[in-house]
A and B are shown apart, each in its own frame.
Chain A
Amino acid sequence: MAELKDKHWWAKWDRAAGKFDFMNRGVELRFGKDKQEWFSRAKGLTLLVAVGTGLDLPYFTKDHSLVGIDISKNMLRIAAKKCEGRKNTKLIQVDVETLSFADNSFDSIVTSCTFCSVPDPVQGLKELYRVLKPGGKMYMFEHVQSNIFWMAPMMDAMTLITRHFGPELNRRTGKNVLKAGFRLTEEVNIHLDMVKLFEAEK
């Protein structure tokens, strides 16, 4: 992990920005409805973590107060074009592991396929815990390591390849959420036990 960070680990996301919307079209087609329903629970000032090219922006009403963050400058450039007409949306380039926001700044947090890519997920989640107001909730759409006996080793093997150009497939995000101090209040399987929705509370 440290090795990837030293080599500007986010460079792979800068490179992927141009084809990101196409590569994720299937995810939005198949899981878009689930995401929209889940993210509609977010209230007040919401931190949208790893906003990427802004694929998730349509899941929020135009007047929702959003702060979208991402590590990739190229991704944010594309997302900015999708923010037209969204007066209450701000985009900021920042690393989720070292957020520049004050403690207890946000009412809600939303993540979408984020913690498969953050090099130190527990540190990133600890930062989210810090900036979330007490009683605030975090809504997550994440793919995680499967517990199916024949899938788990395959996901470990695939991760050796995928981590060089994209996400890691074997993250234990549910456990990481607990390690960061959150209370897990809901967990829903939406495809096998690999694609999940989480609700966590500070």
Chain B
Amino acid sequence: MRFLFKLVDYILAVFMGVASVWLVSLVVGSGWNMFIAMFVGMFLGMLAVFPALLFSCGVTTAFHVLPVGMLITMFTGMIAGMAIAMGALSTSQLYPLAIFIAATVQLAIDRYDMKLKGEVPLGRT
């Protein structure tokens, strides 16, 4: 069961990364101002968290999707926005990058969760 939950986490992470690149590629075009592209990319990317939240409520929780999703979509959205504006990477090149970022962020959050998990010393509340 634990393995299945982890699998769901990683599938959702990858979905959010790929969806954020896709959303950004629909709007941002080459030749855009870099800073505008970065902020628009970040904003559009973060929208990808909402479908993930909706589709996953039957199998996981918002607490597992939100922290990871916000980071993944923010980073991939920003990178996708800038890369497309500069013409540095094509959308098909950005998807593997988004998958890599998603898996890395998910792994980092899992490690951090393991560190925080357990009894909190009293008086820290």
Contact = CB atoms under 8 A, between A and B. Distances in A.
Given A154-B66, A187-B119, A192-B116, A30 B5 contact: yes
A27 interface: yes
A189 interface: yes
Interface string A139-176: 00001001010110010001000000000000000110
B120 to A, nearest CB: 4
Contacts of A31: 61
Interface stretch (B17-25, B51-59, B80-88, B95-103): B51-59
A184 interface: yes
Nearest to A25: B58
A63 interface: no
B67 A184 contact: no
A194 B63 contact: yes
A23 B57 contact: yes
B59 A188 contact: no
B111 to A, nearest CB: 11
A178 interface: yes
Interface in A1-49: 22-27, 29-31
B45 to A, nearest CB: 14
Interface residues of A, number: 33
Nearest to A143: B63
A150 B46 CA distance: 14
Given A189-B120, A192-B113, A25 B57 contact: yes
Contacts of A185: 122
A103 interface: no
Contacts of B116: 189, 192-193
Nearest to A158: B66
A29 B60 CA distance: 7
B61 to A, nearest CB: 5
B70 interface: yes
A27 B61 CA distance: 5
Given A178-B125, A193-B116, A29 B59 contact: yes
Contacts of B58: 22, 25-26
A190 interface: yes
A186 interface: yes
Contacts of A189: 116-120
26 contacts: A22-B57, A24-B57, A25-B58, A26-B58, A26-B59, A29-B5, A30-B5, A30-B60, A148-B67, A154-B66, A177-B125, A178-B125, A184-B122, A184-B125, A187-B120, A187-B122, A187-B124, A188-B120, A189-B120, A191-B63, A192-B63, A192-B112, A192-B116, A193-B120, A194-B63, A196-B120
